Amino acid sequence: MGAAFTIGMKDLRQRLRDRSAWIIAVIVPLGLAFILNATIGGAAGSEGGGFLTEILVVDDDGGEVSAAFLDILDDLEADEIVSVETATSAADAQSRVQDGFPSAIVIPESFTAAAQQGSPATITVYTNPDEQIASQVALALAQGFAAEINTVQLSVASVFVGEGTDADPARIPGLVAAAQGGTPLATVAGIETEGDGFDLATYFAIGMAVFFVFFTVQFGVLGLIEERDQGTMARLLAAPIPRAAIVGGKLIAAFVLGLVSMLVLWIASSLVMGAEWGNPVGVIVLIVAGVIAAMGVTALVAAFARTAEQAGGYAAIVAVVLGLLGGTFFPVSQASGFFSLVSKIAPHRWLMDGFNLLTAGDPVSAVIPSALAAVAFGVVTGVIGLLMARKMVLTS
């Protein structure tokens, strides 16, 4: 054990003096997470990471119905879902959208009167083709409100049909008020659970940390091949050192490198980006599981390579494929069908699912299955890889 520790510390000191190790382990993942959050997050979200779209509103009606719609927008603005601005006219709104504003909603003159009398009434929505998400939000708001009006109009019409009489304009306002004030038979109760799940800053910080740890551990695991290529393996074998200690030393260096990398990214992303990884105990459990998984797959891939350069290339390809498949760049947990099933072969998927549970406020026990899945992946691939690596040591 002492010999393995000595070899591991020697490799670790060597790697810590290597600038490329720091670049891959810390600088690139943190920088990439920051850039992705600043670009994608800035385009899609507010300060808290949720979606915030800007909507221009023109109220040419000024009646009760349009006031109800404006109240809805005010509530959404208070919840930081939309940002509402007022335009002077429909022409002004259209011009501003053409100049780049995301969307505009125009309530025409006499809209309230038309809605109360059962006459056709049209809400106009101007959309910007370069702002697809914001445009869809504005359209959904207008369509939802129009659907409510249509429901009220249908209720009023059904009264006259049931009575077998023609529509009486004098009675319509009262029937509209009754329809709007009626108690619905079914309601939806929204209950917010503890935690928010991933926001964009947290998602990209964790995703990049998980993705790049599979590159970071390569600096330790591939050390066996480098020793052989450089001719230093023969000197190690000639020394009074157990062969298992040579392999163990490389594993110690890889584990410490991966662990330090993720711990630094955890702390740095929390301070710099405001990322919220969740319960610290759960975070450490998943970090350890992730490092083990990364070491296992790297050891297996490296066992099929003849040179260190070849091993690094193979390991990089596998790391990228598993990272994309496992959802480190984009969420795959909500994917359906074959892709969702296949993504579970990647340890990244289990790690991202575990971190998602932590950020949503779930207890540490909830992430144990995800951690065990990642560890199992690392152990299975690692054992196969180490058996092959042991043969390489014995035949060197």
Containing structural domain, residue 279: 2-44+199-395
Q: Which residue has the higher pLDDT, 254 or 174?
A: 254
Asked if residue 128 and residue 236 are part of one domain, the reply reads: no
In this predicted structure, what is the pLDDT of residue 184?
45
In this predicted structure, what is the pLDDT of residue 128?
87
pLDDT in tens, 285-298: 999 999 999 999 98
Ranges 69-78, 141-150, 202-211, 271-280: which has the least confidence? 141-150
Q: Which residue has the higher pLDDT, 158 or 33?
A: 33
Residue 232 lies in a domain: yes
pLDDT confidence bin for 7, thresholds 50/70/90:
confident
Domain finish residue from 181, 210, 243: 181
Asked if residue 236 and residue 152 are part of one domain, the reply reads: no
Asked if residue 385 and residue 253 are part of one domain, the reply reads: yes
Q: How far apart are the first and last CA of the chain?
A: 22
3-state DSSP assignment of residue 74: helix
In this predicted structure, what is the pLDDT of residue 49?
44
Ranges 26-40, 144-158, 204-218, 239-253: which has the least confidence? 144-158
The pair phi, psi for residue 82, each rounded to 5°, is -130, 160
Helix (H) or strand (E) holding 53: strand 53-59
Q: What percent of the chain has pLDDT over 90?
A: 27
How far is it, in rounded angstroms, from Cα 140 to Cα 145? Answer: 9
Asked if residue 63 and residue 24 are part of one domain, the reply reads: no
In this predicted structure, what is the pLDDT of residue 309?
80
How far is it, in rounded angstroms, from Cα 246 to Cα 389? Answer: 11
pTM of the predicted protein model: 0.64
The pair phi, psi for residue 133, each rounded to 5°, is -65, -45
pLDDT confidence bin for 1, thresholds 50/70/90:
low
Residue 194 lies in a domain: no
Could you give the number of structural domains in the chain?
Answer: 2
Contact 348, 377 (CB under 8 A): no
In this predicted structure, what is the pLDDT of residue 166?
59
Asked if residue 177 and residue 35 are part of one domain, the reply reads: no
Residue 60 lies in a domain: yes
Q: What percent of the chain has pLDDT over 70?
A: 74
Per DSSP, the residues of 120-187 read: ----EEEE-TT-HHHHHHHHHHHHHHHHHHHHHHHHHHHHHHHHT----TTTHHHHHHHHHHSPPS--
pLDDT confidence bin for 205, thresholds 50/70/90:
very high
pLDDT in tens, 99-132: 889 899 999 988 888 877 767 778 899 998 877 7
Asked if residue 93 and residue 160 are part of one domain, the reply reads: yes
Distances (CA, A) of 375 to 94, 210, 251, 369: 57, 14, 15, 10
In this predicted structure, what is the pLDDT of residue 336?
62
pLDDT in tens, 308-362: 788 888 888 999 999 999 989 887 766 666 777 888 899 999 999 999 999 988 8
Beta strand 53-59 with 103-107: parallel, antiparallel or unpaired? parallel
Asked if residue 351 and residue 258 are part of one domain, the reply reads: yes
Domain finish residue from 122, 154, 181: 181
Asked if residue 357 and residue 228 are part of one domain, the reply reads: yes
Tokens 């919220």 belong to residue: 276
Positive/negative CA dihedral, 15, 19, 24, 26: positive
